[in-house]
Amino acid sequence: MLNVRRRTDTTPRTARTALFTVICGLLTTFGAVGIALVTVTTPASAAGCATSEAHRGQIETSVPWAQQRYGLERLNGIADGTGQLVAVVDSGVDVTHPQLADAVVAGIDSLDPQGNGQVDCVGHGTAVSSIIAARPASGVGFRGIAPGAKIMPVRVSERQEIDGTANGRAVSMQGLARGIVEAVDRDIDVLNLSLVTSENDDALRQAIEYAVNHDVVVVAAAGNQHAAGDPIPYPAAYPGVIGVGAIGPGGERAADSQVGAYVDLVAPGEQIVAAALGRGHATYRGTSFAVPFVAAAAALVRQYHPALSASQVAARLTATADPAPGEPGSPEYGAGVVNPYRAVTGQVTDTSGRLAGVAPLQASPGRTAARAARTRNLALAVAGACCAVALVFTALAIALPHGARRRWRPERPSPAGRIR
């Protein structure tokens, strides 16, 4: 039999109560800080985008095929995108969705000057963002590829196609370019562009060059116009951009996914489960929804390999891609199917990449220093908090025994001339 010696607690109940109160106060204080860091505010314009109960999706309890393909549990404890900021240039993000409320920072709203991008009238940007960073939830099979990353929405459109006609507001090419530049100026790590235009606009091209020159990983859709003759998609066709095509559950190219030299990688883009407006999930298709799989993989790589430049990240993504039906470098599949786990953990020997216009691999001292500074500041903040807690507990460790000896009565002053 195990002999357990009974410990006698000589600390009076009043002392224990005082200690418990202090600890609860500390926990409440730090908890409030955490809540303040993730609380989001929906702009006034969101009232016009209220989602009725009929539009809310059903909760997906099983693991979708795309998440099954990647075996995301293998990345547990290795990389989840923490510390990475991904700009999603799209229709905004609905921050009322439970899996996104903690994933979105205040962003840019090019449609409503008083807004911050944390509203979505059509659901496209919400779905795209959730594929990147939806937080895991109990009883929910769907989660993002990089659930520790943060999303910065850049709201540029609320257009949707109805009966072949596009309706709704959208910014001009100049407005789109300004949104991209402003996002880059906010120190983003990855730029997700689930949009396509056939217009080779100077302002857009310069904005993409600005992002590439500022060491941002730029990922864009290859487009869904294969039946229309594969018109050149921008910004995917610009130098330095990772152009992404779509595949289905069987690994074959999606019928609408465009074919051309601008396809650098492919990713799941058929029968894609992602967040719906307000709550639950819906099914989507198209290269728009293949892009965030690659953007999320880039965020994982940037977290695990912080010294890599954007071009090195792109080269790692292409070098570690899974084989596809076409030959490596084919206009249908590019380098193959993006593989987040291999991109993070794989031993890469061929780092030449195949992205047109990507500069030779080189370190990025400025960006590495910036990331190091952010990590250092976070570490200092945590260390400071820990020191504060340690000081409080040290003071209690000194005060409690002293008070217990006096049975918690106030100490009386000694009479004059008497030595105690």
* Cis, peptide link before residue 415, omega less than 30° from 0: no
- How far is Cα 321 from Cα 342, in angstroms, rounded to an integer? 8
Are residues 276 and 127 in contact, defined by beta-carbon separation less than 8 angstroms?
yes
- How far is Cα 54 from Cα 59, in angstroms, rounded to an integer? 14
Closest Cα to residue 153, out of 85, 219, 92? 92
Choose the catalytic residue: 91, 157, 288, 309: 288
Active site residue 189: no
- Quote the tokens at residue 15: 């002392």
- Quote the tokens at residue 97: 């969705």
Helical segments of 119-214, H only: 124-133, 173-185, 202-213
- How far is Cα 247 from Cα 338, in angstroms, rounded to an integer? 11
Choose the catalytic residue: 97, 124, 226, 281: 124
- Quote the tokens at residue 272: 């894609």
- How far is Cα 213 from Cα 366, in angstroms, rounded to an integer? 12
Active site residue 55: no
Q: Provide the 3-class DSSP secondary structure of residue 231.
A: coil
Q: Provide the 3-class DSSP secondary structure of residue 243.
A: strand
Choose the catalytic residue: 80, 90, 109, 256: 90
Active site residue 90: yes
Instruction: Please report which helix (H) or strand (E) contains residue 228, including its range.
Output: none
Q: Which residues contact 130 (CB under 8 A, 6 or more apart)?
A: 97, 99, 100, 142, 144, 274, 275
Provide the sign of the torsion angle of the four alpha carbons 129, 138, 52, 37, taken in this order: negative
Exposure string of 38-66, with b = 16+ CB inside 10 Å and e = fewer, is eebeebebbeebebeeeebbebbeebbeb
- How far is Cα 341 from Cα 107, in angstroms, rounded to an integer? 29
Q: Which residues contact 415 (CB under 8 A, 6 or more apart)?
A: none
| Residue ranges with strand state E in 76-162 | 85-90, 108-109, 150-155, 160-162
- How far is Cα 248 from Cα 287, in angstroms, rounded to an integer? 11
- How far is Cα 133 from Cα 145, in angstroms, rounded to an integer? 6
- How far is Cα 362 from Cα 307, in angstroms, rounded to an integer? 10
Catalytic residue positions, numbered? 90, 124, 288
